[in-house]
Structure 1
Amino acid sequence: MKKIFFSLTTVFSISAFSQNFTQAYQNRVNEISQTNINTTLTEFANLGVKKTGSVSNNNAFAWLKTKYLSFGYTEGEISENAFLYQGNTTKNLIITKTGTTYPNTFVIVCGHYDTITGPGVNDNGSGVSLILEMARILKEVPTEYSIKFINFTGEEQGLLGSQNYVNTVVNSTSPKMDIKLVFNIDQVGGVAGQVNNTITCERDTSNPSSNNAASNTITQQLMNCVTLYSPLQTNLSYAYASDYMPFQSNNEVITGIYEYNESTKPHTTGDTYVNMDPVFVYNVGKAALGAVQYFATADTNALSTVDCPPEKMLESLKIYPNPANDFIQIEMINSNLIDFSFTIVDLNGRTLLQTKNEKRINISKLSSGLYLGTMTVEDQKVTKKIMIKK
């Protein structure tokens, strides 16, 4: 997305939209991983130019789906929204986390994964990395409202993916899909070498105007969450030329975030990891996760790692299916609250596979036979037998 900013001098009273700090939200915000963000940005770059309809774009879609599966989302929670672009099929990817109180009302958290000309590590690998991190951390967290994490394609060709989703899913649901708000994350990578300490929060100022007041309120709440859960400052601007706009035109309530120091690299071969600020992405992730928890009314039980001792996690460990073929699934209570690692060795003690914080593990390269899987949480370990049958 490319934007042109105009200076905004309007100042709104924060007291009119005051919110309280919630320790449980902060605990989860603290789970945002700089390592995970760096890894995602690097992998995203390695996928090349992900132009809509291209092989690389399809590879990026498959890569994203594998990520969500590794977090423990099931095939039933993942859906695809396909359309044609220049004769080629391309897809939006949608992950649905069902709410406990309002399962049919949705908070949509979205951003595009397609790129043009360059690898698009800022525009919009940065947004992709944060959507993945939030989906990972919130996987087992009860929220009153349902959340849809959506990775759109076709944004760079004119918001094609988001427009298709509004047309073929939002407005084709009977009754029409009930959307509480749409939170768009696009180009939040900052500029390497600059002081990136401010995030722009975007509100609706377009026609139809009937949804503008609600958008302004939501955006003020977003700005408050930025202050509560991250070290960033906020700048208020307007929504423009990204995937929230088809929703805006559909009279939905929208908000979004965008880098304040605007990079000149998007849509060029220079949109790379070295030209952005991964620490800024990490801080934006804190702000975004605090806001999504507030918007979806996440559980306020202030669990911490003290409430979840390693031995209790290991006692609850389940590995299935067993025997397995291509994948195994890991389940432990409160596994989003603390780091864990999993290692598979053969009966001769040779390490064949090591993962960290992954709940769906690809074992397709291992031959049939008996193996030992060891789960490690802090200084505690447990080992279980795993049978692989091809």
Structure 2
Amino acid sequence: MKKRIHLVALLLLFINGLFGQNFIQAYADIANQVSQSNITNALTDFENLGVKRRGTQELEDTYNWLRNKYLSFGYTAAQLEEDTFANGSYTCKNLIVTKVGSVYPDTYVIICGHYDSLNGVGTNDNGSGVATILEVARLLQNVETEYSIKFINFSGEEDGLLGSQHYVNNVVNGTTPKLDIKLVFNIDQVGGVAGETNNTITCERDTSSPTSNNAASNTVTNELMTCVTLYSPLNTNLAHAYSSDYIPFENNEEVITGFYETNETTHGHSATDLLVNMDPVYNYNVAKAATGAMLHFAVAYTTLSDNLFNKVNLVRFFPNPVKQYLTIDLGTSPEENYTLQLYDLQGKVVFSEAVIGNKQLTTINVSALSKGMYLATLISEKDVVKKKIVLE
């Protein structure tokens, strides 16, 4: 029987290699940079910040701690957004960090989890998710991806998903056009149980109404399960989505998936939800799986082909940094008309202008824009060239 199981496993791996996701060494190299000390230190810091309830200084201190963590990773203040909402008589905050993609800058992969707690400091629920998201953000900060990424830390989850519902109502649906979301990857309570064998992560899919997004959720959740096996030592368990911050997105017909611990703690929502009752090595392995998954979902670059390298480097934007006039050198023998679009660090188009292709050099006045970093995108019928520029 053991030999038969082994042969079936090999056959499944062979089929997956032909028709599914392949192992990418560069993704594994990044996932293997997840740090156990970073995970344990983040859990310790989170625990020491206290009970994170609405209206408390502890919740505000945790928000500021999160901001400072992202800034320490190299994200700029312009990439951080504060989304405030009323929670009873109190004001609570969501923190959104945006990393702009180079091919689809206005389409987002969201990785999210809540940072508020109930009846205790919430080291597992959901300091474990916070620690995971922070480590993914650290490792992807300098990795170029095709799709934009939003790292979101929600508040108000323990009061009925208030923070994520506010974000969906006022940001996702309040943007014109509506925010284009590729998928939402929610991470909630992934710290494991001390003293148990924590070797399996539960991967969650949409199985409820509306049903229009269920098939796509099933697809990305199966991709998530494959990433777990490719980039971590964990096994996977397939389950349905439950009451966490992806639900408002699910009800908005977005595509969702998620992580949840398979050995479920008995210390949830209590004063004993502490690091001593968790398995930080399991949390470390979850972070490796989440890192590999985000590299896959956002389509991270591993190498540039010679053709792409040559195409990108034939086009120049100068001076860079620029103060008032940006000059575009279209390279050798330009024959096409182009559109220049500038995206800010939130992935929003803030400038658009036609560029005539029969001129090698075109100069454009960008002095009306605010100082900062932008993604310059030059689009024609045949090519898309993207480079970062700085206005000062």
TM-score for the superposition, normalised by structure 1: 0.73
1:54, 1:236 → 2: CA distance? 37
Partner-residue secondary structure (3-state), 1:210: coil
Aligned AA for 1:27? D
Written as runs of structure 1 = structure 2, the 5 A alignment for 1:37-116 is 37-116=39-118
| Residue 129, structure 1, aligned to residue 92, structure 2 | no
TM-score (norm 2): 0.73
1:198-347 paired onto structure 2 within 5 Å: 198-301=200-303
Q: Distance in 2 between matches of 1:55 and 1:166?
A: 26
Aligned-pair CA distance for 1:46: 0.4
Shift of 1:86: 2.1
| Structure 2: distance between partners of 1:72 and 1:213 | 37
- The amino acid that maps onto 1:143 is T
Unaligned runs of 5+ in 2: 1-11, 305-392
- CA–CA distance in 2 between the matches of 1:75 and 1:87? 28
Instruction: Tell me the residue number matched to 1:30.
Output: 32
Q: Secondary structure at the match of 2:202?
A: strand
Q: C-alpha separation between the residues in 1 aligned to 2:87 and 2:58?
A: 14
| Distance (Å, rounded) in 1 between the aligned partners of 2:303 and 2:273 | 40
Paired amino acid for 1:141 = V
Q: CA deviation at 1:87?
A: 1.3
Point out the more displaced range, 80-89 or 35-44: 80-89
**What is the CA-CA distance between 1:55 and the residue it aligns to?**
1.3
What is the CA deviation profile of residues 303-354 of structure 1, one whole-angstrom value per residue up to 9, with x for unaligned ones?
Answer: xxxxxxxxxxxxxxxxxxxxxxxxxxxxxxxxxxxxxxxxxxxxxxxxxxxx
In structure 2, how many angstroms separate the alpha carbons of the residues matched to 1:63 and 1:199? 27
Contact 1:53 1:86 in 2 (8 A): no
What letter matches 1:188 in structure 2? V
Equivalent in the alignment of 1:319: none
Aligned residue for 1:219, secondary structure, equals helix
Instruction: Tell me the amino acid that sits aligned with residue 270 of structure 1.
Output: T
Q: Which amino acid aligns with 1:268?
A: S
- Secondary structure in 2 aligned to 1:265? coil
Q: Secondary structure at the match of 2:257?
A: strand
> Shift of residue 53 of structure 1?
2.6
Q: Secondary structure at the match of 2:175?
A: coil
Cα deviation, 1:254-293, whole Å, max 9, x if unaligned, reads 0001000000101000100000000000000111100000
Q: Pick from 15, 21, 29 the counterpart of residue 23 of structure 2.
A: 21
Q: Deviation of residue 144 (structure 1)?
A: 0.3
Indicate if the aligned counterparts of 1:103 and 1:146 stay in contact, CA closer than 8 A: yes
Deviations 1:202-223 (A, max 9, x none): 0000100000000000000000
Whichever residue aligns with residue 109 of structure 1, its letter is I
Partner in structure 2 of residue 169 of structure 1:
171
Structure-1 residue corresponding to 2:187: 185
Q: What RMSD over aligned residues (CA atoms) do the two structures have, in Å? A: 1.2
Shift of 1:52: 2.3
> CA shift at 1:301, angstroms?
3.2
Q: Deviation at 1:89?
A: 1.1
Separation in 2, partners of 1:281, 1:52: 26
1:161-194 CA-partner distances (Å, limit 9, x unpaired): 0000000100000000000000000000000000
Q: Which amino acid aligns with 1:171?
A: N
In our comparison, the structure showing a higher alpha carbon Rg is 2
Unaligned runs of 5+ in 1: 1-12, 303-390
Partners of 1:180 and 1:60 lie apart in 2 by: 29
Question: Whole-Å Cα distance in 2 between the matches of residues 230 and 72 of structure 1?
Answer: 26
